[in-house]
Structure 1
Amino acid sequence: MEEVYLKDLDSRIQKQVENARKAIDKNPAYAVDILANIVSRHPGCLEARKFLRQAQQKAAGGKTKGLGKFIGKVTSLPFAMSGGSKLKKDPAAAMETAEQMLGANPANPAAHKMLGAAAEALDLEGTTAFAYEELYKLDQSNTESAKLLMSAYIQAGRSKEAIEVGDAAYRANPADDEVQALIKKASVQQTMEKGKWEEDKSFREKLKDEDEAQKLEQASRAKTGESGLRSLIEEAKKAVEAEPENMNNYRDIANSYRKLGEYDDALEWVGKARQLEAGRADANLERLVGTLKREKMQKAIETAEEALEANPEDASMKAELEKLREEERSFRRKQAEELVNRYPNEFSYRFELGELLFEDGDMNKAIENLQLALRSPKVRINALILLGKSYLSKGFHDMAAEQLQTAKSEIPGFNDQKKDVLYQLGTAYEQQGDMDKAMKEFKALYSADISYRDVAQKIDEFYSNK
């Protein structure tokens, strides 16, 4: 499938899109109806899809359904999501399914991930990047989402953006080998672009080693399909036979199984790597075991959610889903507590535990761990924000404002994280009764994004009451 520009579509369709675009602010539901129909008929038109997403988000008014349960639980596995079988057999149909899910909730991570993987299978590079951009926006602290976006940017030749995302992901998780590899790959691509290697010869001609060229090309395509990943697995298994002590080969096999969503096999190969002399003391492998087990649980939850969607009144399915969620939550908390006990001076683990305690409503213990997490530069801003929210939940509005004001000063630019901070800071001042300070924050947010949550309503009410 090829991506098409809006200007290349029939003039009547262009007019419909333009009318829908103009209606997004005043009548988003109308815009959604028009644009959804156009995107269904012209799935390769990225511009129309972007307008559709704006309309859906505007129609949702920031009050998206079920976002909380997804944040922080998005895996990197395009083949492990709901609708995975449809994705393999008919990626075009999977794209349509993903859009239906986003029509119900534009903040559904599983839907964005499905859309990205389906677009990837159809070689729609722009649409792939857009889908993963939207996924990444939902939770910029999620390393797996960052890796998907980096890979999409690299595939689309957008190396500078890939490096920017990679730098943030590396600061948050410097031990992640995949992030480091993607940054390196993007840097090589950027160097090639600057040197204009392809002006006189193709990339294949520039590489003297033909076999190396084929391997590099295969590696870059591996994420687009199951067959590529299985080919890499077989190649890495042969490398293990040749170099049984080389731990990188074991990692490669585990990572490929992970991308396929075959967690038991991935865990088996990580286990083999940990039996090596170099692997026994490798803390990254130890953490990877926990990550794989957690992702396996998340996959089971997604499958149960999909089954419940088809049978929403099935009491046994509801009970099973709740059981799976509770097991996954207990595992995450136990894992976080073990890491904190084992590595008391690794303060980023304090943030992970504090986040779980916050979600459980155990605010005093959450605050205790979040205060310690401030010592870790890679999670400091996230810890400041969550600490502010913890104080807000306890009614300590002045202390919340202090933390959020610090976070605001440390976040460069104006991204989604900054918007959240402005909203929470305005809320802290509002609950103190200091409306002048509250409106200062809400107005700054309103000026940048009128559709953010209920900020437009707050501004309208403020002026109508004056």
Structure 2
Amino acid sequence: MEEVALKDLDTRLQKQIENARKAVDKNPSYAVDILINIVSRNVACLEARKILRQAQQRATKGKTKGLGGFLSKVTSIPFSMGSESKIKKDPKKAIDSAEQMLNSNPDNVVGHKILGAAAEALELYSTAVFAYESVRKLEPNNTENIKSLMTVHIKTGNSEEAIRIGEAAYRANPSDDEVQTLIKKASVEQTMEKGKWEEDKSFRDKLKDEGESQKLEQAGRAKTGDAALHSLIEEAKKGVAETPDNMNFYREIATNYRKLGDYDSALEWVAKARELEAGRADVTLERLVGTLKGEKMQKAIAAVEARLEADVENEAAKAELEKLKAEERAFRREQCEDLVQRYPNEYSYRYELGELYFEDGETDLAIKELQMAQRSPKVRVGALILLGKAYLVKGFHDLAAEQLTLAKSEIPGMTDQKKDVLYELGSAYEQQGDMDRAMIEFKALYGADISYRDVAQKIDDFYSSK
């Protein structure tokens, strides 16, 4: 997918965006309402997304005070389990989810990270730069984000900026070989772009030898291919042989095997890393094992789904798919329960566990986790919505309405998430027999999206009964 310039949008949309731009300072909430839907439908328009972010910042000014520090403390915690596979499976949906997070709090680091990763998956590299730059402003010392930012700068041809950012990170942490490797790649790209490879003696003098120059040039030309990844793996294995205690080589090998989809080999090298003294104390490696196992399961599920698409009557494949999905779900639940037990105050884990419990029909267990999960700003709205749905399952319509009303008040604009809340809230009132209040919610939804679920039928039935 290619980035779309504002001037290439429909002229009516351009006019709406211009009106929103003018309203950013005086009426930012109005600007957000206009832009959130435009950006959702025109995911590749970075200019509109930038204006939206300005409006969100002004609309929430003062309301999220103090969250920046809190979020900085939790950024060592990875995306919630399954997020990476969800991004790969449906990056557009992941971007919508990220924007919902950022609508509630534009300084939500996790939201920016998901936006960046999903934009990369869609090859919207300028949008990815925008997302990772936002993280860098909030967390200037987040090395993993800096690596992601350097990578997309290289992909967009902005190698000079990648080098500048990388050199600052390298000065702060000279032992990080990954940053050094990215600096070299950016330097190769920069030299190739200028067409001065043979003339630029100053850079070639910095390289160990002519052989390394050639390898980096090849990597610059085919860095995304399988052959290049295998080459990087072999180079890292040589590094392990020379300095077996250097964790960065193990990480690079595991990372590149993961990119190749060879999860068994990736897990093997993570296990080797965990045998090192530094690896035994590295919690991120422990979590990476769970992520890799989960992605391996997702890959197996995708393979069976592909077989079924080609042969929809394949009963053996249907049975295998059902078995694999059950195993993957049980694994996620086990992993999530373990994370909640070990990190009881990381409420995003409680939210995901509550979601799994709810989907499994264990409503009481879901309610317990979701009640605690809403303490976290980054998952609060989602927890409120799911808690409302859980109360509806229990038949506690008044409690459901309370949670859904709270969620409604915390979602600016008319997003897909807001539509879901309006429908569920209307249903809660409907099940109580309070049709007047139910219709207020259904009418608001009808006015925004007549095709949403069966809301049009509900409105028709209501007026037909009068």
TM tier, smaller = 0.5 to 0.7
Deviations 1:370-402 (A, max 9, x none): 112222333222222211111111111111121
Unaligned runs of 5+ in 1: 9-46, 51-71, 79-108, 113-131
Computed over aligned residues only, the root mean square deviation of the Cα atoms, in angstroms, reads: 4.7
Give the secondary-structure state (helix, strand or coil) at the position aligned to 1:157: helix
Q: Using the aligned pairs only, state the percent identity.
A: 56
Equivalent position of 1:182 in the other structure: 148
For residues 232-283 of structure 1, what are the alpha-carbon distances to aligned partners after superposition, in whole Å with 9 as ceiling and x for unaligned?
3334334434543332332232222222211101111211221222221222
Q: Does 1:344 align with 2:303?
A: no
Query: Is the partner of 2:278 in helix, strand or coil?
Result: coil
Give the equivalent residue in structure 1 for 2:321. Answer: 321
SS in 1 for 2:281: coil
Letter aligned with residue 302 of structure 2 = E
* Equivalent pair of 1:385/1:404 in contact (CA under 8 Å): yes
Whole-Å Cα distance in 1 between the matches of residues 230 and 115 of structure 2?
23
Does the Cα contact within 8 Å between 1:163 and 1:187 map onto a contact in 2?
no
Q: Within 5 Å, which residues of 2 pair with 1:253-268?
A: 253-268=253-268
Distance 1:165 1:423 in 2: 33
How many angstroms apart in 2 are the aligned matches of 1:412 and 1:376? 18
* Structure 2 counterpart of 1:133, from 89, 92, 103: 92
What is the CA–CA distance in structure 2 between the aligned matches of 1:250 and 1:416, rounded to whole Å?
42
Letter in 1 for 2:322: E
Aligned partners of 1:77 and 1:259 also within 8 Å: no
Deviation at 1:363, TM superposition (A): 0.5
Unaligned runs of 5+ in 2: 9-40, 45-80, 102-109, 164-188, 208-212
Match of 2:127 in 1: 158
C-alpha distance in 1, partners of 2:4/2:119?
23
Verify the 8 A CA contact 2:389 2:424 in the aligned structure 1: yes
Matched residues in 2 for 1:77 and 1:367: separation?
24
Q: CA deviation at 1:184?
A: 6.4
Separation (CA, whole Å) in 1 of partners of 2:241 and 2:153: 32
Question: Does the C-alpha gap of structure 1 residues 409 and 253 become closer, same or farther in structure 2, counting only changes over 3 Å?
Answer: farther
2:332 match: 332
Q: In structure 2, give the amino acid aligned to 1:281.
A: A
Task: Report if aligned partners of 2:117, 2:128 keep a CA contact under 8 Å in 1.
Answer: no
Q: Partner letter of residue 182 of structure 1? A: S
Question: Which whole-Å deviations, capped at 9, do the CAs of 1:83-138 have from their partners, x for residues lacking one?
Answer: xxxxxxxxxxxxxxxxxxxxxxxxxx85x5xxxxxxxxxxxxxxxxxxx3246447
Does structure 2 conserve the Cα–Cα contact (< 8 Å) formed by 1:405 and 1:425? Answer: yes
TM-score, with length taken from structure 2: 0.60
Give matches, 1:44-443, under 5 Å: 76=85, 110=89, 132-134=91-93, 136-137=95-96, 146=115, 148-152=117-121, 155-159=124-128, 161-163=130-132, 181-182=147-148, 203-204=190-191, 209=203, 222=223, 224-443=224-443
TM-superposed CA distance for 1:77, in Å, is: 9.6
Q: 2:351 touches 2:379 (CA, 8 Å); kept in 1?
A: yes
The one-character-per-residue Cα deviations of 1:185-230 (angstroms, maximum 9, x if unpaired) are: 668999x7999x9xxxx954599847899969958974x5433433
Residues 1:448 and 2:417 aligned together = no
> Aligned partners of 2:134, 2:452: CA distance in 1, in Å?
23
Go from structure 1 to structure 2 and tell me whether the alpha carbon gap of 1:157 and 1:147 turns closer, same or farther (over 3 Å shift): closer
CA gap 1:77/1:365 in 2 versus in 1, 3 angstroms: closer
Larger Rg: 2
Letter in 1 for 2:148: L
What is the TM-score with the length of structure 1 in the denominator? 0.60
- d(CA) in 2 for partners of 1:209, 1:413: 51
Map of 1:28 onto structure 2: none
The alpha carbon displacement at 1:294 in A equals: 1.3
Whole-angstrom distance in 2 between the partners of 1:148 and 1:216: 26
Aligned partners of 1:439 and 1:459 also within 8 Å: yes
Residue 460 of structure 1 deviates from its aligned partner by: 3.7
Q: Aligned with 1:158: secondary structure? A: helix
Distance 1:279 1:73, change over 3 A: closer
Q: Is the 8 A contact 1:423 1:442 kept in 2?
A: yes
CA distance in 1, matches of 2:440, 2:275: 58
